[in-house]
Amino acid sequence: MDSTSGRASAPDPNSGEPGPSAGSSSVSASLPQQQQPEGSSPPAPPSRYESQKRRDWNTFLQYLKNHKPPLTLARCSGAHVIEFLKYLDQFGKTKVHITGCPYFGHQNPPAPCSCPLKQAWGSLDALIGRLRAAYEENGGRPESNPFGARAVRIYLREVREGQAKARGIPYEKKKRKRSNVAVAAVNVSVEGAGGGSTSGGGEGSGDADSSAAASSAAATTTV
């Protein structure tokens, strides 16, 4: 009996055929070593805000592509952004009563009416905040950002005021009120420190006010 009949014969090196198990065994042996090292974790999924921002950005790029005539991002201006916002009104779900409607100015109208549905001001304001950030994240310069154009800010303000009147939702701008205790403390420090400290205190107060204004503006565009 041939002693080699009980085991697989070695392949002929000149036949060009690979060995039956050498490759598979080496791959199997190396599989456990390809796992992620200890202590490392998979990348976290994007947040809800980041996912929404990406969808909004892709929607706007598609809008520019379908625009007649087609528009490039470099040629986009604040006027085109306003056109985009008006285009989105057809997908709105907020009832905005027109001037001649008997329910104009009513928060809870007793019966339905034929007034149009539009995008709510809060939705548009949040959308502009996301698109403004996405524009700069994709290489756009802040000074040429069409989503931060003055015309866009004016349009959003008009939408906010118009919807507030039509829906009977009063809008009052919140003003910062300085407490009597803080005013008294400032007066005492000024009297005790003299003229030099008074000028320094004025500069610090102005910086605080500008920082608060910048924070309020950022919060308005990113809600």
Lowest-pLDDT choice from 1-5, 70-74, 127-131, 139-143? 1-5
pLDDT class for 30, splitting at 50, 70, 90? very low
Is the distance from CB of 76 to CB of 57 less than 8 angstroms? no
Instruction: Locate the domains of the chain by residue range.
Output: 47-165
Q: Tell me the C-alpha distance between 186 and 192, whole Å.
A: 10
Percent above pLDDT 90 for the chain: 49
pLDDT class for 217, splitting at 50, 70, 90? very low
Is it the case that residue 204 has pLDDT exceeding 50? Answer: no
Give residue 121's pLDDT: 94
On average, the pLDDT of the chain sits at 73
In angstroms, how far is CA 3 from the centroid of its own chain? Answer: 75
Is the distance from CB of 80 to CB of 151 less than 8 angstroms? no
Looking at the domain 47-165, which fold is it?
DNA polymerase; domain 1 (1.10.150)
Q: pTM here? A: 0.58
Q: Which two tokens stand for residue 72?
A: 């490039």
Average pLDDT on 77-103 reads 94
Is it the case that residue 7 has pLDDT exceeding 70? Answer: no
Q: Which two tokens stand for residue 210?
A: 């500008």
